[in-house]
Amino acid sequence: MNSYVALAGTSIAGDGRIVFGSKRMNLDEDRYDAFIWVADGEAVRKLTAGPTDLAPRFSPDGTKVAFLRKGAAATDKPQLAVIPFLGGEAEVLTDFAMGVRSFDWSPDSARLIVSAVEYSDEWKDLDDDERKRKPVRVVRLPMRSDTIGQLHNTVDTTWLVSADGSEMVKLSDDDSFRENGAIFSPDGTKVAFCSDRSGDRVANNDVQVWERQIQTGELTMVADLGMWSSLDYSESGSLHALGLRNLFDWPDMVQLWRLDAEGPVTLTPDLDRGIAELAFRGDDAVILVEDEGRVVVKSVSPEGAIIDIHEADSMAGSVSASLAGVAFVNSSYDNPGELMVSDGGVAKRLTSINDDFASKLVHAEHFLVNAGGGDVDVWVYLPVGSEPVPTLLNIHGGPAAQYGYGFFDEFQMYVGAGYGVVACNPRGSSGRGSDHVRAVVGGGWGVNDMADIQAALDEALTRYPRLDRDRLGVMGGSYGGFMTAWLTSRDQRFKSAIVERGLLNWSSFAGTSDIGPYFSQMYLEANLPDDPAQLWEASPLANAHEIKVPTLIMHSENDYRCPIEQAEQLFTMLLRSGVETEMIRFPGESHELSRAGKPRHRQERFEAILDWHGRHLLPVDENLAN
C-alpha cells in the first residue's frame, strides 16, 4: 500500500509544458506526501518540496505555477501558494481559517480568484475551546457536509488575490450565501461562480450559476437552480458547465451545457454517457466520459460535434488542455497511473513513476452477463496459480458509479492475499447510459440491481472453476454496504460479509445524512414526512433478522453521508439476533476513509478486512499461520 504514487492535477501550458501533482502515503508520519512535478518534453523533474502540495496550475503567461500547500500538521488547511517556474521559493499567499477550496488565474497572470472557507462573524473571534463549548443554533438544511463538517459556523467566500501577495480583496457581497468554484472570464472583467441564493431553508444540492462584474460588483444569474459544477469559459467567452438542469433528474447522464443568456443549451444531447471532467482547448471542450468501465477522453466543438481523443481499456482522469495539447493521467489494471499527453495523434506516455510497482499487479478478465435488463460488465481477478481460492464479491458505492479497467488498490490487495475477486456494474451503475443508471429508481431499487449482481456472481463461478463457491464472501461500502446487508438477508450462500459505511435505514438516513433530504426522493421517489412505510420497506434493516452470515460492520465516526447511527442500528439488531458480528469505528474519519483517510487508518482497515474474511473463508491452519 505504501509503494505506489497517485498522480493528479495536471495543467498544460500553451507551449506544451505540463505541471502535475503526485501523492503517496507516508505511514511513518501518518500523512500523504504530495509534490508538484514538471514534464518538459522528455524531462520530468520535481518543482516543489512539499510536504503536501496539490492542484498545480500554470499562469496564462507560463512564468508561474499556483497550487495549494498544506503544512505537515494535521490541523493545517490548504492555502494558495505561487512559485516561479524557472526557480525560487514558493510563497504562500493566504491564511484562511478553514483553507482554500479552489482558485483560478486572471488572464493577465497578475491576480487569482480564490474560493475560500472562513468562520462566520459570530464564530471567527472565538478560540477552539469556545467553539467547542458554544451552543449551535440551526435554522436550515443542510446542517453539515461530509468531509467538510458542520456548516453552521463557516461561510464560503470569494477573494481577489494579487499574484505577489500584496493585495487581497473580498468580492463576496453577502456571507449568508455560499460561493464556490469561482473562475475568471477570458477578458478578466468578471468571475463566474456557483451559489444558491434562493433563500430556501430546506436547501438541496442544487445551485445557481452567477457572474459578477469585478469593478462594480453587479451580479447576473446565468443559470437557475440545477445540478451545476465544473464551470469553465471557452476562449471566445462562452460560459459552460457540467450537470443537469434539475437536481431531481439525477440519476442520469451528466451533460455539457453552454450557459447562454436565453438559458442553458446542452451540447451533448445524444451522448448517452456521463461526463466527469471539463477543460477547454480554444473553443473546443475536452471532456472525460464514463463508458462501460472505461473513462475516455473526447472533445466537443461549439456545434456539438464529438471527436475521440483517447479511447482505450483504461481510466483517464485529471484532464487539462491548451492549444498545445491535452494532458491527463491514465490508469489501467496493472498501473496506478501515469501522465499522458495528446496533441491530436496517438496519446504519448510521459512518465514511468509506477513501473516498478506495476510489475507486481494482476490483470483482470472481463465478460458480460445479462439478467434480463441489458448487458452488465463483470471483472474477475485471480491470484497466480491453479488451486481453488476463496471468493470475494465486491459491490461498489453510488450506486451511480462504476468499476472498470483502471487500477483499484483494494482488488490488488485482496488478490495478493490469495482471494479471487468478482466485481460488476449492475443496473444503477454509471457507464451504460440513462436506462441502465435509472433502472433502480422507484420499484427497481433492490430488485434489478440484486438480480444483476447475483447473475454476475453465478456466471463468474461457472466460468472460473478456481473460484470456490463454498467459500464466498461479500462486501461493499455506502450503497455497496446497503446491498451487502440487503443481499445477505435474501441469499444464504455467503460465509462472510463486511458492511462498510452503509445506507441501512432509509427512515433515519433521510433525516440525518447530509444528502438525506433529497437522495431518497431521487431513488425511491419517497421522502419524509410523507412516505415512512416506503422508506422502511426499502431498508436492509427491515429484513436484517434474516441475516445469518458472520458480518463485520465498519464505519467512520465523522461520516455525515451515511451517519454512524446506520451502523449502530444494524450492529444492535445482528447482536440481538445471535449473529456473529463485530463493529469497528474509525475516529476522526469521514465517508471517504477508504479513499482519503489517514494512512494508518487505511492500513488498519485493510488488516481488519483480511482478518475477518480470513477467519471465515481460509482453512483453519492457514488462518492461524497468518
Active-site residues: which are they?
478, 591
DSSP character string of 607-625: HHHHHHHHHHHS-HHHHHH
Report how far residue 617's alpha carbon sits from residue 6's, in angstroms, rounded to the nearest whole number. Answer: 32
Question: Residue 189 in contact with residue 217, Cβ under 8 Å?
Answer: no
Backbone conformation region of residue 176, classed left if phi is above 0, alpha if psi is from -120 to 50, else beta: alpha
Question: Residue 452 in contact with residue 373, Cβ under 8 Å?
Answer: yes
For residue 378, what is the DSSP state?
Answer: E
Closest CA to 516 of 501, 527, 532: 527
Question: Residue 197 in contact with residue 160, Cβ under 8 Å?
Answer: no
For residue 566, what is the DSSP state?
Answer: H
C-alpha dist (Å) from residue 81 to 95, 464, 594: 10, 52, 28
C-alpha dist (Å) from residue 102 to 119, 180, 523: 17, 8, 31
Question: Residue 328 in contact with residue 340, Cβ under 8 Å?
Answer: yes
Which residues lie across from 211 on neighbouring strands?
192, 220
Q: Which amino acid is at 417?
A: A
Question: Residue 599 in contact with residue 31, Cβ under 8 Å?
Answer: yes
For residue 444, what is the DSSP state?
Answer: G
Question: Residue 582 in contact with residue 553, Cβ under 8 Å?
Answer: yes
Question: Residue 568 in contact with residue 575, Cβ under 8 Å?
Answer: no
DSSP character string of 332-356: ETTEEEEEEEESSSS-EE---TTHH
Strands (E), 17-105: 18-26, 31-40, 43-46, 52-58, 64-70, 79-84, 91-92, 100-105
Report how far residue 1's alpha carbon sits from residue 9's, in angstroms, rounded to the nearest whole number. Answer: 21
For residue 361, what is the DSSP state?
Answer: P
Closest CA to 500 of 612, 583, 401, 596: 583
Report how far residue 473's alpha carbon sits from residue 253's, in angstroms, rounded to the nearest whole number. Answer: 32
Report how far residue 330's alpha carbon sits from residue 337's, in angstroms, rounded to the nearest whole number. Answer: 5
C-alpha dist (Å) from residue 616 to 391, 430, 466, 480, 486: 12, 33, 18, 20, 20
Closest CA to 383 of 360, 406, 354, 403: 360
* C-alpha cell belonging to residue 115: 474560493
Which residues touch 462 (CB under 8 Å, ≥6 apart)? none
